[in-house]
Amino acid sequence: MAQVSETTNGIPQIFASIITIGDELLIGQVVDTNSAWMAQELNKAGIWLRRRVAVGDNREEIIQALNEESRYASIILITGGLGPTADDITKPVLCEYFNGKLVIDEGALANVESIFARLNRPMIERNRKQAEVPDTCTVIPNKRGTAPGMWFERDGKVFVSMPGVPHEMKGMMTNYVIPKLQGHFTFPFIDHRTLLTAGIGESFIAEKIIEWESVLPSNLKLAYLPNYGMVRLRITGSDTDSGRLQAVLDAQFGQLKLLVKEWMITDEDMPIPQVVGKLLKEKNATLSTAESCTGGYIAHLITSVAGSSEYFKGSVISYANEVKEQVLGVSHEALVSKGAVSEETVRQMVQGAMSVLKTDYAVATSGIMGPDGGSEEKPVGTVWIAAASSGQTIAECFHFRYDRSRNIEMAAIYALNMVRKLIASA
Amino acid sequence: MAQVSETTNGIPQIFASIITIGDELLIGQVVDTNSAWMAQELNKAGIWLRRRVAVGDNREEIIQALNEESRYASIILITGGLGPTADDITKPVLCEYFNGKLVIDEGALANVESIFARLNRPMIERNRKQAEVPDTCTVIPNKRGTAPGMWFERDGKVFVSMPGVPHEMKGMMTNYVIPKLQGHFTFPFIDHRTLLTAGIGESFIAEKIIEWESVLPSNLKLAYLPNYGMVRLRITGSDTDSGRLQAVLDAQFGQLKLLVKEWMITDEDMPIPQVVGKLLKEKNATLSTAESCTGGYIAHLITSVAGSSEYFKGSVISYANEVKEQVLGVSHEALVSKGAVSEETVRQMVQGAMSVLKTDYAVATSGIMGPDGGSEEKPVGTVWIAAASSGQTIAECFHFRYDRSRNIEMAAIYALNMVRKLIASA
């Protein structure tokens, strides 16, 4: 792997580090989705995230993390621990760390007051205290909540504290932190090219592209990202000259695409529901789903894409057999003689979706997700998936070996890929 | 906040640290769900997670992290970077760090061979290399994939390296790592009590319970976990005596429940779809959904709960108006005169779900999730939700102010809470 160097044509690489504060992260009550989002935004701005650290609501550990991360990075982004309750200690700790004293910020106070007025809730002292900030920081306005953000500088390094509430943090990052960082430092350009493959393992791809990979320019870097039985390949490059970076990325990406074209699903960085949506828009066609074991998850993935109402008409989630029969028109005979998890049933389900929801394409699932409900003949993880167009219906049986939630995810992604193939081949 | 002390009745607290390796975490292509799961498992076993660190596929940074985390913790759990491709360098770095040399492990090789035989895929040298391990480690069998885990010991500390693939890591943790750690160290008991409130803000709860919180025993700790407009309260305790710990937790939890009983939704640590499911089972009743703007997400949340087929019959996802009309029986007049996002429409949708899917309860949503589709009269974030029982239909309009995915999540949780109230009051 070609490691991106620490300088790009003489511009020193600026590193960032994220410190996430909160006991909830250390007992696993919350999955940290903030860091991934922040990493993406930093990257787009040409800032390389070097480390991410999570620590508890504990003074010593927060100070330790601040000391340590400022050795590794010039930009330290801190989230969490700014709530109004006693377990939230980030603000007093930062105040101490940056030798300040807490003072009411009038702008932040007006913001808290206007939020309480809008919600028509009485304000108590604890809420008023949310508007306190160390006098050694620059206040970052929070348009989406009561806790203000804080910007500190020391020894050429920038420390930014933001709330852990995702939409509040995102508003601050987009509207304030990223623009202000861009004014403060000089960044090289960082960009990516990503493609998605299906039907080939990571190690086989590596063999196919070994010669190409071995002579990749030193400012480019390749990553293999396997997930849901597919492999995403990502080239990342950095350069001080944006045009030159785009040119070298395009050239290398063009070669890579040729090498893996047999397995390539898309050459854009988009998840499979978006790939399906793009195809449907191109063909001016509509889609529906009939879901048993996936329980609406396929519909959810499809409708997570903005603008999906252009091509997605709806679904029948037929968890109970009587819904399969009475709404989708699956024959009683198929359900009794072949069972709900069978090729016959899933083919009738997909036909039912096409006719009840009146779409050009449909996809249907029926399976056993676990932990219970399996049998010797049909063990947990057995899933029948069918996809249909007006002229063709295909069905296939899969055997997933994971836990319930992963089985649901896998079945949904495989179902989307099956209908994708059908649409792409039309 | 009462900080849990570093010893519990003379037993020193054993701390763990998680190191996650992979550039994909630092550019934000992947959300780290492993760490939350691992934290939960460690906690259950009486092990306190002190820090979580993510670093890239970079030798120096991995070594730095190993040095650092072993200063903070006795147990260092490492995930990621064990794949067969060139960017995965965790194994050679660990081999160097623990002064070993790479040798083929016969058990691991047999495992790789059997997986390739089962998949009927040819094996190449790169796959064979997956069975190599440093000769200074104890091999951890991987029953779910090709990369073996590795257990190292140095200066009384334990280092465990596992694959980043979630179900492979989970298998190793459950079947090998946790039991072996329990044999290696002596842990105090750690346990939690959790309740969920709705309709009251974090700072108001804090005021209600301030006297109780201020005299909480020092081995107990309270956390406020706000999410989706609700607040979860969690008491965590540690003790060398399990019986004594349970008794003090029960006593304190009993007091807390009394203080917040007006707003309490559940006194168990369960998400709201499970609360709804439990109520439905108690009342031997069934549920369906009619979803427009939530696009199947409510159905997905309900069916994420194992055993939900006992009470959930299905859904009609009516993304297109014609599906609202033709499948759910919403009147053309309501759609034309009031619009899809209106009280009239959502009431007819919920009635449609009750009659088409033949359930005792139903919940329906119709709204504008964004980023486009809003108007002055009905801005993005406007959502009508209705819930119905055989005797009663309630409807309410909400205005969410987040991005598309958060608006969908909020609407789904509010919808579940609305139907929960209806079921609970029956």
Mean pLDDT per 10-residue section of chain B, whose length is 426 residues: 50 89 84 90 88 95 96 96 85 97 96 86 87 96 92 96 92 96 89 91 91 94 83 90 95 98 93 96 98 98 97 98 98 97 98 98 97 90 97 95 88 96 94
> How many angstroms away from the CA of A355 is the closest CA of chain B?
11
Q: How many CA atoms lie within 13 A of B128 on its CB side?
A: 6
Record: contact B24-A404, CB cut-off 8 A: no
Class of residue A380 by CB neighbours under 10 A (exposed 0-12, middle 13-18, buried 19+) = buried
Architecture of the B9-184 domain: 3-Layer(aba) Sandwich (3.40)
Name chain A contacts of B297, Cβ cutoff 8 Å. 296, 300, 303
- How far CA A157 is from CA of A69, A172, A185, A190, B205, in Å, comes to 11, 19, 10, 21, 38
For A309, B246, B391, the CA distances from A90, given in Å and listed in that order, are: 43, 31, 50
Contact B296 A308 (CB under 8 A): no
The confidence score (pLDDT) of residue B6 equals 63
Q: Which of A28, A306, A319 sits opposite B312 (nearest CB)?
A: A319
Say which residues have a Cβ less than 8 Å from residue B204's Cβ, sequence separation at least 6. Answer: A124
Amino acid occupying residue B153? E
**For testing contact with chain B, the best of A4, A6, A23, A27 (most B CBs within 10 A):** A27
CB proximity B30 to A under 8 Å: yes
CB contact B186 to A (< 8 Å): no
| Residues of chain A scoring pLDDT < 50 | 1-5
Q: What is the CATH architecture assignment of B272-425? A: Alpha-Beta Complex (3.90)
Residue of chain A whose alpha carbon sits nearest to that of B1: A87
In A346-385, the residues whose Cβ lies within 8 Å of chain B are 356-358, 370-373
Q: Does B38 touch chain A (CB under 8 A)?
A: yes
Pairwise CB contact (< 8 Å): A127 & B89: no
pLDDT of residue A5: 45
pLDDT at position A43, please? Answer: 85
- The helix (run of H) or strand (run of E) holding residue B400 is none
* Distance (Å, whole) CA B342 – CA B326: 18
Exposed e or buried b per residue across A154-165, where buried means at least 16 C-beta atoms within 10 angstroms of its C-beta:
eeeebbbbbbbb
CB < 8 Å to B404, chain A: 304, 306
Shortest distance between the Cα of A74 and any Cα of chain B, in A, equals: 16
Find the CB nearest A24 among B27, B223, B300.
B223
Q: What are the start-end ranges of the H helices in A270-339?
A: 272-283, 297-303, 321-326, 332-337
Q: How many CB atoms lie within 10 A of CB A261?
A: 11
H-helix or E-strand spanning residue A84:
none
Q: Which of residues 240-269 of B touch A (CB under 8 A)?
A: none
Check residue A226 and give its pLDDT. 79
Q: Which CATH superfamily includes the segment(s) A272-424?
A: CinA-like (3.90.950.20)
Which residue in B27, B319, B404 is closest to A43 by CB distance?
B27
Q: What is the side-by-side order of every strand in the sheet holding B75-79?
A: A138-140, A149-154, A157-162, A75-79, A15-21, A48-55, B48-55, B15-21, B75-79, B157-162, B149-154, B138-140
Put simply, the answer to whether B225 touches A24 (Cβ < 8 Å) is yes
**Tally of CB atoms within 10 A around B41:** 17
Topology classification of domain A192-266? Alpha-Beta Plaits (3.30.70)
Task: Verify whether the Cβ–Cβ distance A126 to B203 is below 8 Å.
Answer: yes
Contact B85 A33 (CB under 8 A): no
The structure tokens listed for B214 are 């201020």
Nearest to A52 among B25, B221, B226 (CB): B25
Q: Are A308 and A302 in contact (CB under 8 A)?
A: yes
Sign of CA dihedral B356, B357, B362, B366: negative
Q: CA torsion, points B240, B241, B242, B246, in degrees to nearest 10?
A: -110
Cα B179 to chain centroid distance, Å, stands at 23
Question: CA distances (Å), B218 to each of B4, B16, B30, B246, in order?
Answer: 7, 21, 38, 15
Separation of alpha carbons B163 and A126, rounded Å? 45
Given a contact cutoff of 8 angstroms between Cβ atoms, the answer to whether B111 and B151 are in contact is no
Cβ–Cβ contact A299 with B under 8 A:
yes
Domain B9-184 and domain B272-425, same fold? Reply is no
What are the C-alpha distances in Å from A46 to residues A75, A78, A234, A236, A247? 12, 19, 16, 11, 17
- Residue B381, phi-psi category: left (phi > 0), alpha (psi -120 to 50), beta (remainder): left
- Residues of chain A with C-beta less than 8 angstroms from the C-beta of B40: 27-29
CATH class of A7-184: alpha beta
The dihedral built from the CA positions of residue A85, A89, A94 and A96, taken in this order, carries a sign that is positive
Kindly determine whether residue A371 and residue B296, on different chains, have CB atoms separated by under 8 Å: no
* A 74-133: CB under 8 A from B: 83-87, 89, 121, 124, 126-127
The answer for B 207-236 residues in CB contact with A (under 8 A) is 207, 213, 221-227, 232, 234, 236
Domain definitions of chain A by residue range = 7-184, 192-266, 272-424
pLDDT score for A7: 67
Q: Which pair of structure tokens corresponds to residue A284? A: 């001016």
Query: Are the CB atoms for A80 and A21 separated by under 8 Å?
Result: yes
A193 touches chain B (CB under 8 A): no
Nearest to residue B3, comparing CAs of B245, B244, B255, B237? B237
Select the residue from A303, A310, A380 to test the B interface by mutation, using most B Cβ atoms within 10 A: A303
* pLDDT tens for each residue of A98-142: 999 999 999 999 999 998 888 777 888 888 999 999 999 999 999
Nearest by CB to residue A87, choosing from B84, B124, B223, is B223
A202:B83 CB<8 A: yes
ipTM of predicted complex: 0.83
pLDDT value, residue A360: 98
Q: Quick one: tokens of A22?
A: 């909160």
- Tell which CATH classification among 3.30.70.2860, 3.40.50.10190, 3.30.2000.10, 2.40.50.140 matches the domain B189-266: 3.30.70.2860
